[in-house]
Amino acid sequence: MHKIRLLNAPDSAISLIIQLMSLPEKCQAIIPEEADRETRDTNQKALDIAQRLHSVFTPNHCECSIIVYKHRGNDLKDFVNRTFELPFNSVGICADFVDDSITVDEANFLINTVPSSCSLTVNGFIPIDFQNEKAFKFNSVYYSSAGWVSFENLIAIRNSRNVGLGFTSFDISDINNFLHYWINCEEEMMKSLNLHLKKDRIENAKEVLATLVCMYENNSEDFICVVKARNDKNRKRILGKLTIQKRAGHIVFTTFEDKESSRDTLKALENVQKHKNLNLEIREMKKEEIEKRKIHKEMEEGNPLKEEALKEAERLRYKIKESEKQFEAVRRLLIGRRYRYTIP
C-alpha cells in the first residue's frame, strides 16, 4: 500500500494525495508540462488530473490541502465547492501566514462544507467569537487556534477519534471538570484529546485531582492521572489516562478499552472506588452509632426504647469493625503499586 503525492502544480492552492492499492514503489509525482503551467486556472487543472486518476484507480484514501490566503470570500467558496466533487477522507486548511486569518464567515463555510466523515485540520487563527455546531462532528479534528473553544464545546463531543486543540482558554480546573464529566458520561466521547492550556507552565498539576477517585504518578516532567468510567455497559473505552506535560502546559488524554493489557489497572481503580465507598460507609455508621448511644444515655430507665437503642449501637459497632477489616484488605492491595491513589 503506497501513499504518493500525485500532483504538484505550481501556483495551485491545492495539493492532492491519493493512497492507492497497487502502484510501483518508485511512482514519481505527476507534474504538469510547461504548457499546462500557463493554463489560467491551475487549480482546475489540478482537480481535473485528480479526477482522472480517481476514475482510473481505486483509492482507499484521498487527502486535500487548501491554502486559504490564495482564495478569499466568494473565490474561496467557488474553489472549495469545485474541490469537494472528489470524495476526500482528510481535509487540511492552511491560513497560518503573517497577518492572515480565517474570518468567521469563511470558517463557517469551510466547516459546513467539509463532509463529517472526513478528518479536518485547520492551521490558522480563527476569531474568538466563532461558534459552529459542526466544529467537532468530524471523524477527527485539529484546530491550531482554539481560543474560541468553550467547555460546553468540549463536553459535547461524541464518538470522535482524535481531537487536537492548539492554545486554548482552559486551565487545570477545566480539565478536572472535564474528567468528572467523562467519568459520568453515558456515551463515548473521543479516543484521544490533545490540547494546550492557556498557561505554558503548570506549577501545581495535582490540582487536577480535586474530588476525583483515581490513581496518579507525579515526576519532574509529567503528571499522570488514570480514571475509570462509571458506565461500563454502554461504553467500550472505559479507562482514561491523562498526561500533563508540566513545563509545556500540554494535555494528552487517551482512552482505552477493557482488554487484557488494561485489566490490572481497571481492577486497581475498582479497588480505589471500593476503598472510597467503605470509607464513606464507615463514617456514616460511626455517626449513627454515636447518635444511638446518645439516645440510650438520655432515655429514662425502664423505657423499652432505651435498650433497643443500645442494641442498635452495638450492632453498628460490629458492622464498623467488619467494614474496617475490608477497608484494610483493600488498602493492602493498593500498596506498592506504581501509581499512588487519591480518595476525596
pLDDT tens per residue, range 101-155? 788 998 999 999 999 999 999 998 899 999 999 999 999 999 999 999 999 999 9
Cα angle 226, 230, 233; round to 5: 120
pLDDT attached to residue 16: 56
The domain limits of the chain are 2-145, 263-342
Least confident of 58-72, 130-144, 230-244: 58-72
Lowest pLDDT segment from 83-97, 235-249, 281-295 = 83-97
CA distance 132 to 30: 38
User: CA 37, CA 84: separation in Å to the nearest integer?
Assistant: 23
Assess contact for 55 and 103: CB atoms under 8 A: no
Residue 230 has pLDDT above 80, yes or no: yes
Whether the full predicted model's pTM is greater than 0.95, yes or no, is no
C-alpha closest to that of 119 among 95, 141, 135, 146: 141
What is the per-residue pLDDT for 25? 40
Alpha-carbon torsion, ordered 240, 246, 247, 250, to 10 deg = 30
> Given pLDDT bands bounded at 50, 70 and 90, which one contains residue 24?
very low
Residue 3 has a pLDDT of 43
Mean confidence (pLDDT) of the chain = 83
Confidence of residue 97 (pLDDT cuts 50, 70, 90): low
Mean pLDDT confidence for 176-202: 95
**pLDDT number for residue 147:** 95
- DSSP letter, residue 231: -
Q: Which pLDDT value is given to residue 17?
A: 55
What does the pLDDT read at residue 95? 79
**Residue 2 phi/psi, 5° resolution?**
-125, 145
Mean pLDDT of the region 13-25: 49
